[in-house]
Amino acid sequence: MKLANVNNEEWNTFAPYVDTILLPVARLGFHEKELHSSEQVIEEIAGEVEQELQGRLLLMPTISYGKDLSTLQLYIRSIVEEWKSSSFYHIVILAAETVLHELSFSTVDKPYQITLIPVKITDGAKDMNIEEEASSVCEKLILTWSNE
């Protein structure tokens, strides 16, 4: 289920079953007015994952960031803390692998778990197989759930 498409009545029906948040994170930058963004690819993959794992997963809006990863990390930490107090046990961050190598999160107290799932985005991102990437993300998520 996508947060952007859920009203309060629907949420109250599904909330007891949703324990996982999927947070897409995408780079957005410009160089001499040339757009450099991984947002479209990340959002397409996240949308496919949400469709495949519907019922247990809540897809959040994509967070866009520039060059300052320290600010991004502080922001993600603050929202993760809030989500933990709302009974979301699995927080999954989906981003380009180059970004996830730069982010670090300390161990979270059980039963909460932060999972970083990297997506390899190349210069030819338009040629990526979105379904294949989404399937790989789904497999990693299911493995995470089975290790509870």
For every one of its 148 residues, what pLDDT tens digit does the chain have, with 9 covering 90 and above? 898 888 999 899 999 999 999 999 987 766 666 656 678 889 999 999 999 999 999 999 999 887 778 888 888 888 888 887 788 888 899 988 777 766 766 655 667 788 888 888 765 555 678 899 999 999 999 998 888 6
Helix or strand (DSSP H, E) at 109: none
What domains, with CATH codes, occur in the chain?
3-146 (3.40.50.10310)
- State the sign of the Cα–Cα–Cα–Cα dihedral 62, 63, 66, 70: negative
Q: How far apart are CA 140 and CA 25, in angstroms?
A: 17
Report the candidate in 92, 79, 117, 100 with the shortest Cα–Cα distance to residue 18.
Answer: 92
What does pTM read for this prediction?
0.86
